[in-house]
């Protein structure tokens, strides 16, 4: 695809010749990608005659066209392994049956990675520490410490947190950080260890669309965070 994969944009220093600044996604673009992928999973899980399990959701399998719309592909070799390391749900390691809940887990990890810029296989996540646990311990009062530095720089340029410190009392007064916090919570719930505790993709779509609508209010657009965005499933094609 014209714009490569989500992996390229989240981790532009890997295999990319362009300057890093040319491969950065702003916050709204990341939310758009998250919404598109959520729409696609919701379609596969609930709108097909027989529910379809993607089974290998990860950044390298989310492809972006010229308009930054999403396409997804999966790899037969990865499917035999029931997903990629770091993205496969814990129950798949115990010979559990494949389920839509497994896709929800992978989606949750993908969402957390998109906002932190950290892979679930990051070397700091060992000895019982995971991307999920790392985020869970930091919320809700330490959002500024865990978001991708690129997003933090964007918010400063937009004038939204230039005066914000790590004081927890400031968090509730900033719309940008409130939305980040809400999306982090969705990612944490989706990547819960127990399948029964995870969200349904229909609920994920509803909540993310609500957050995006809040971010795209005229006051937000006036702050310079503008981008064309897809309205959902009409702009999504999944290839198997």
pLDDT one-digit tens code per residue, 32-74: 999 999 999 999 999 999 999 999 999 999 998 877 666 666 5
Looking at residue 147, its pLDDT comes to: 87
pLDDT one-digit tens code per residue, 217-237: 765 444 443 333 344 443 443
Q: Round to whole Å and give the CA distance between 15 and 8.
A: 8
pLDDT one-digit tens code per residue, 74-92: 554 344 456 788 899 999 8
Any residues with CB less than 8 A from the CB of 70 and at least 6 apart, and which?
6, 33, 36, 37, 40, 62, 63, 64, 230, 235, 236
Which residue in 88, 130, 84 sits closest to 106, CA to CA?
88
CB 37 within 8 A of CB 107: yes
Q: Round to whole Å and give the CA distance between 111 and 38.
A: 10
User: Can you list the domains of the chain with their CATH numbers?
Assistant: 6-238 (1.10.510.10)
pLDDT one-digit tens code per residue, 169-222: 444 447 778 888 899 999 999 999 999 999 999 999 999 999 999 988 765 444
Q: Which of 56, 103, 148, 174 is catalytic?
A: 56
Indicate the pTM of the whole model: 0.80
Catalytic residue check, 222: no
The three-state secondary structure class of 64 is strand
């Amino acid at each position: 695809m014209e714009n490569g994969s989500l992996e390229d944009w989240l981790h532009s220093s890997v295999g990319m010749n362009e300057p890093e600044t040319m491969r950065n996604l702003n916050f709204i673009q990341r939310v758009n990608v998250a919404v598109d992928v959520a729409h696609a999973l919701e379609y596969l899980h609930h709108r097909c005659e027989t529910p379809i399990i993607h089974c290998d959701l990860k950044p390298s399998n989310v492809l972006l066209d010229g308009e930054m719309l999403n396409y997804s592909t999966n790899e037969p070799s990865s499917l035999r392994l029931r997903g990629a390391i770091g993205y496969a749900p814990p129950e798949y390691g115990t010979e559990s049956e494949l389920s839509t809940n497994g896709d929800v887990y992978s989606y949750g990890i993908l969402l957390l990675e998109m906002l932190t810029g950290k892979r679930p296989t990051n070397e700091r996540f060992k000895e019982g520490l995971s991307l999920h646990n790392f985020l869970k311990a930091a919320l809700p009062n330490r959002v500024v410490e865990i978001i991708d530095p690129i997003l933090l720089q964007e918010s400063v340029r937009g004038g939204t947190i230039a005066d914000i410190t790590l004081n927890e009392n400031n968090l509730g007064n900033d719309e940008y950080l409130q939305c980040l916090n809400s999306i982090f919570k969705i990612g944490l719930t989706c990547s819960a260890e127990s399948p029964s505790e995870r969200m349904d993709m229909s609920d994920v779509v509803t909540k993310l669309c609500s957050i995006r609508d809040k971010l795209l209010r005229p006051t937000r657009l006036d702050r310079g965070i503008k981008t064309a965005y897809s309205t959902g499933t009409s702009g999504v094609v999944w290839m198997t």
